[in-house]
């Protein structure tokens, strides 16, 4: 056992790791008093040797997961079988992207199906949660909520006689454990809070969903151990200025790890886009120069997107190079290949390229569409109306094949596009230039 000194409010009983004039919970002044608390040592002393022995996997009985539906068929497919009892799920995403809305909808769906769901919030008060649930039309007898910053309150719910079937913690960085030092959100606190909750939910069979903050680089904040402790890692991304959201699976022990769901933000919450193949395409005018239709593959889904490029004369010493929706360094690489292999004089031009619809993709198959759009804007000639492009450009100007070629080909045919320009019809950039613009 170890001891440490902390400060407790004489008015409300809240604890603080350091002294301050005003209690952070009840806002009373000069009520924090120093107290000594006991903390368990995580390292066992004199523990007996483990009796575990290797076993033949073939002789073991298969374990049935017993997953239940989440109420959203697309989410069940994303997770593999649905919500698995005792599973721990980590959901990350930027602030304001819709994590709380999505999880509140999930809790409401569980309540409508007759399951008990508890929404534990460390960031919002109960009146705020009720107002949002009322706006989304989710209020019901099976939807429970609590507002607290103490992990002991969440553990008490799991240790009760009737533990809930779903516990949502929003967020893990706002809870504090007396077994660890530091303020909420610190590495030691996040590790202690998550380990206690995961251990308890696996014992009682409750499905646990932890919400994690993200850093400025888009990575889930906290120790990397947090992602290893959970069974599934989900990430909700999108542009807050657009209505589209994408939920990706980064890790999944119960199903595929390369699936995604496309949502659209409505007044009643997030709504699943059943056929996202042309969702990001929008209304495009193929008669304009500098636009190319591409088939990007994300996970196992093909998306038809429009790649736009604008090449204009620059009056700057260093011309601008801007890319939206894909890596700027990749754009610079493709422009260097165009200048070297096709001898295009792009050094005196500002070049802007983007993927419309708010989609961000790292698919290398977009290279061919970006190059076609740049050349179309440079020559100020529109591309063939029914053409679609995919292929990776190497440093020698060759068009290389990309993954899921047959999937893209079938999707192009389903969308009614006849002339298809891909890695099999345009082996070099020179061939593409001659085919589209008649240049040599």
Q: In what order do the strands lie in the sheet with 420-421?
A: 321-324, 349-355, 301-313, 291-298, 388-389, 420-421
183 is in an annotated binding site: no
289 is in an annotated binding site: no
94 is in an annotated binding site: yes
List 349's β-bridge partners, or say none: 313
CA distance 323 to 299: 22
Q: Which residue has the tokens 């239709």?
A: 293
CA distance 244 to 266: 10
Cβ neighbors of 363 (< 8 A, separation 6 or more) are 296, 297, 298, 402
Q: Are 9 and 1 in contact (CB under 8 A)?
A: no
397 is in an annotated binding site: no
Encode burial over 369-378: b for 16+ CB neighbours within 10 A, e otherwise. Answer: bbbbbbbbbb
Q: Are 247 and 271 in contact (CB under 8 A)?
A: no
In this structure, is the dihedral angle defined by the CA atoms of residues 400, 406, 412 and 418, taken in order, positive or negative?
positive
Beta-sheet strands, E only, within 14-74: 15-16, 32-39
CA angle 275, 420, 376 (to 5 degrees): 100
21 is in an annotated binding site: no
Q: Which helix (H) or strand (E) holds 155?
A: helix 151-158
97 is in an annotated binding site: yes
**Both tokens assigned to 371:** 């190059």
152 is in an annotated binding site: no
CA angle 28, 176, 97 (to 5 degrees): 100
CA distance 232 to 382: 45
Query: What is the 8-class DSSP label of residue 95?
Result: T
Sequential DSSP letters for 270-282:
EEE-S-GGGTTT-
**Both tokens assigned to 391:** 């292929």
93 is in an annotated binding site: yes
First to last CA, the chain: 80
Which residues sit in the known binding site for ATP?
Answer: 93-100
Which residues sit in the known binding site?
Answer: 93-100
């Amino acid at each position: 056992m170890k001891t440490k000194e902390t400060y407790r409010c004489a008015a409300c009983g809240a604890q603080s790791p350091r002294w301050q004039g005003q209690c952070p919970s009840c806002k009373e002044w000069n009520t924090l008093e120093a107290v000594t608390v006991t903390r368990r040592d995580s390292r066992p002393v004199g523990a007996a040797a483990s009796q575990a022995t290797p076993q033949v996997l073939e002789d073991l009985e298969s374990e049935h997961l017993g997953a239940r539906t989440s109420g959203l068929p697309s989410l069940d497919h994303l997770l593999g079988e649905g919500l698995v009892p005792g599973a721990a799920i980590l959901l990350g995403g930027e602030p304001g992207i819709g994590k709380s809305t999505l999880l509140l909808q999930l809790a409401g769906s569980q309540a409508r199906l007759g399951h008990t769901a508890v929404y534990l919030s460390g960031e919002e008060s109960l009146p705020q949660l009720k107002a949002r649930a009322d706006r989304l039309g989710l209020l019901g007898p099976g939807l429970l909520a609590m507002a607290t910053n103490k992990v002991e309150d969440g553990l008490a719910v799991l240790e009760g006689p009737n533990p809930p079937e779903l516990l949502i913690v929003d967020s893990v960085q706002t809870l504090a454990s007396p077994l660890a030092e530091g303020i909420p959100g610190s590495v030691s606190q996040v590790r202690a809070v998550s380990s206690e909750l995961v251990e308890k939910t696996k014992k009682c069979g409750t499905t646990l969903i932890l919400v994690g903050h993200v850093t400025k680089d888009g990575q889930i904040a906290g120790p990397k151990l947090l992602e290893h402790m959970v069974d599934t890692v989900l990430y909700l991304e999108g542009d807050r200025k657009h209505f589209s959201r994408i939920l990706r699976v980064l890790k999944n022990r119960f199903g595929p790890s390369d699936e995604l769901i496309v949502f659209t933000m409505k007044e009643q919450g997030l709504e699943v886009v059943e056929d996202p193949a042309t969702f990001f395409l929008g209304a495009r005018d193929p008669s304009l120069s500098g636009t190319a239709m591409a088939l990007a593959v994300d996970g196992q889904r093909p998306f038809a997107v429009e790649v736009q490029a604008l090449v204009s004369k620059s009056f700057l010493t260093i011309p601008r190079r801007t890319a939206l929706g894909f890596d700027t360094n990749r754009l610079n690489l493709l422009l260097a290949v165009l200048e070297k292999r096709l001898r295009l004089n792009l050094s005196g031009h500002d070049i802007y390229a983007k993927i419309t619809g708010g989609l961000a993709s790292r698919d290398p198959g977009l290279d061919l569409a970006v190059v076609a759009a740049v050349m179309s804007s440079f020559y100020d000639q529109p591309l063939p109306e029914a053409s679609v492009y995919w292929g990776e450009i190497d440093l020698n100007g060759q068009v290389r094949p990309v993954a899921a070629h047959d999937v893209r080909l079938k999707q192009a045919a389903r969308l009614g596009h006849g002339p298809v320009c891909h890695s099999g019809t345009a082996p070099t950039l020179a061939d593409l230039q001659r085919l589209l613009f008649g240049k040599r």
